[in-house]
Every structure is written in structure tokens, then in C-alpha cells.
């Protein structure tokens, strides 16, 4: 089973998702709400994606509902310390 990579930058009102597909990145912005979570799932389905490994920064409570939603939908979710992400980007 192939698992795609989904990076999520989360904020209070919205989140930006970056999906890596065949070496190319596709972007989607959604509301940080149940409606936005469903929009994300429909977008992933439209891209032909069944399983993702989602990675998001630990930003307090802003990302908790989305992380739970994705996990309960059967996806892998990693919540990462922002300092680790910044350090990876500066290498």
C-alpha cells in the first residue's frame, strides 16, 4: 500500500496543505473546521489519494481536531516540534 506525504501548516482560522505526488507538490487551503476537514478529504480523493502520512507543527490546540479527524479516518499523523521543522529546513 502506497502512502502519500501531506504537510500541513495550521492556523486558527485555516490550514494550508501541501501534498507530494510523483515528485510534484499540490497545494490546498481549507478552513480549520469540520467543513474544512471534509473539503480536504474530498480534495485528497480527487487526487486519487487513499492513504497519507500527514505532518503538522505542534501549534497548541489549533491542529488537534484535524489530527484526530485524520487519525480516525485511518491516516498516519505526526505532530512535530516547530524547532525540528525549522532545523530541517535550514540544512
Domain range summary for the chain, segments of one domain joined by +: 4-89
Work out the angle at residue 58's Cα, subtended by the Cα atoms of residues 89 and 90, and round it to the nearest 5 degrees.
Answer: 10
- Cα–Cα distance, 81 to 33 (Å, whole number): 23
Total-model pTM = 0.87
Q: What pLDDT digit, counting tens, does each position of 62-89 carry?
A: 999 999 999 999 999 999 977 766 666 6
**4-89 in CATH: which number?**
3.30.420.40
- Cα–Cα distance, 48 to 81 (Å, whole number): 30
Query: For residues 51 and 3, is the Cβ–Cβ distance under 8 A?
Result: yes
How far, in whole angstroms, is CA 22 from its chain's centroid? 17
Amino acid at each position: 500500500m502506497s502512502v502519500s506525504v501531506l504537510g500541513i501548516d495550521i492556523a486558527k482560522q485555516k490550514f494550508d496543505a501541501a501534498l507530494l505526488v510523483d515528485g510534484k507538490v499540490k497545494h490546498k487551503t481549507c478552513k480549520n473546521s469540520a467543513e474544512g476537514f471534509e473539503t480536504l478529504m474530498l480534495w485528497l480523493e480527487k487526487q486519487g489519494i487513499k492513504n497519507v502520512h500527514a505532518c503538522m507543527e505542534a501549534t497548541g490546540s489549533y491542529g488537534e481536531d484535524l489530527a484526530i479527524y485524520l487519525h480516525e479516518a485511518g491516516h498516519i499523523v505526526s505532530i512535530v516540534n516547530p524547532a525540528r521543522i525549522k532545523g530541517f529546513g535550514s540544512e
